[in-house]
Amino acid sequence: MSLKGKIQVVRFTDTGRVRDHNEDAADADMDTGLMVLADGMGGYNAGEVASELAIKTVMDLVRVGVDRESRGDIDVQSGLMRQSIVLRNAVSRANKIIWQTAETQPQCKGMGTTFAACLFFDDKVSIAHVGDSRVYRLRSNQFEQLTMDHSLLQELVDRGFYSPEEASRSSNKNYVTRALGVEPGVDVEVQETAVQPGDVYLVCSDGLSDMVEDEDIHLTISTFGANLQTVGEQLIQLANDNGGRDNVSVCLAQIVESFAERHGFVDRIKGLFG
């Protein structure tokens, strides 16, 4: 089921004030319900290659997989809906393709990318991430980070060496412990949660989260929330005004109305005449 008209989406990517090229990539397709973002690394051109490979692979595979998995059955082994399995497998496949490309193309040696995605279906969202690209949600004025960074700094916070406040002021934020393409396999973190009309989901690279405090991101979305285009423009501007030390990318999705699937026989019959 196409989610066009049910979810409003915008995406932005900017080189920033310091870098001379952009290694981020982002895309969205509400026919599939998918919103994706990748933050590449690994040299002048290689980072761009990795992020673009991640985006294209996941978009293509999820598009095919969602068409096949039209039902919302739960996978018994993982406890995840079938759509979430499709997303996780697509990200894992992207990892393998980036790894193989890096191994066979000398100019791409050492490349990789962080990755985050939201797949919307049946009044739910499946969130997949690897690395320190983040997913946030604003719901009823409560702003929440839904993903936890796969980074050395986050591990130190988890172990009690830093408080979250101390970590936010640290200058050592960019050492990721997990990324696509740096190993033959990768552990893709996937979660599912219900969505509500009015929710705003933000997917961003660390070019935003390192440059702009969560409170300021929250305030920006709340202030300009009636116009997602303006929200995205303002977030990019804030990151650049605060130094723009990295490429900065944001994807925003606002839930306009329910997109629950018809599951039962009666629902399907109603759908024929509705």
Distance of alpha carbon 235 from alpha carbon 241, whole angstroms: 10
Burial of 162 (0-12, 13-18, 19+ CB in 10 A): middle
DSSP 196: -
DSSP-based three-state secondary structure for 12: strand
Does residue 56 carry a pLDDT above 70? yes
Strands 189-194 and 142-145: unpaired
Report the alpha-carbon angle 32-51-81, nearest 5.
35
Share of the chain above pLDDT 90, in %: 76
Per-residue pLDDT tens digits for 61-95: 999 998 775 555 766 556 688 999 999 999 999 99
Provide DSSP, 206-239: HHHHTTS-HHHHHHHHHHHTT-HHHHHHHHHHHH
Range scoring the smallest mean pLDDT among 14-28, 80-94, 148-162, 202-216: 148-162
- Residue 151 binned pLDDT confidence (cut-offs 50, 70, 90): confident
Instruction: Compute the half-sphere exposure of residue 80: CA atoms within 13 Å on the CB side of its CA.
Output: 20
pLDDT, one tens digit per residue, over 166-190 is 556 555 556 788 999 999 999 999 9
Q: Over 90: is that where the pLDDT of 213 sits? A: yes
Q: Determine the Cα angle at 261 with ends 232 and 196, to 5°.
A: 40
- pLDDT at residue 18 in the model: 96
Element (H, E) at 101: helix 82-104
Residue 132, pLDDT > 60, answer yes
Q: According to the model, what pLDDT value does residue 72 have?
A: 59
Domain boundary assignment for the chain: 7-273
CA 78 to chain centre: 21
Question: For residue 80, what pLDDT is reported?
Answer: 84
- Which band of pLDDT confidence, cut at 50, 70 and 90, is reported for residue 162? low
Structure tokens at 201: 């989901």
What pLDDT does residue 175 have?
77
Q: Could you tell me the pTM of the whole model?
A: 0.89
- Only one residue has tokens 């929330």, namely 225
Which of these, 200, 267, 273, 212, lies nearest to 240 by C-alpha position? 212
CATH class, domain 7-273, is: alpha beta
Q: Is the dihedral of CA 194, 93, 251, 156 positive or negative?
A: positive
Query: 111 with 98: CB under 8 angstroms?
Result: yes
Residue 243 · residue 206 · CB < 8 Å: no
Of all residues in the chain, the percent with pLDDT exceeding 70 is 82
Contacts of 118 (CB under 8 A, 6+ apart): 34, 35, 125, 126, 127, 135, 201, 203, 251, 253
Residue 1, pLDDT score:
77
Comparing C-alpha atoms, which of 58, 32, 54, 31 is closest to residue 41?
54
Report the pLDDT averaged over residues 203-232.
Answer: 96
> In the sheet that 189-194 helps form, which strands lie side by side, from edge to edge?
24-29, 34-41, 112-121, 124-130, 189-194
Range scoring the smallest mean pLDDT among 19-33, 55-69, 71-85, 199-213: 71-85
Q: For residue 58, give Cα distances in angstroms to 94, 102, 167, 271.
A: 6, 18, 31, 30
Write out the two tokens for 71.
Answer: 């039902």
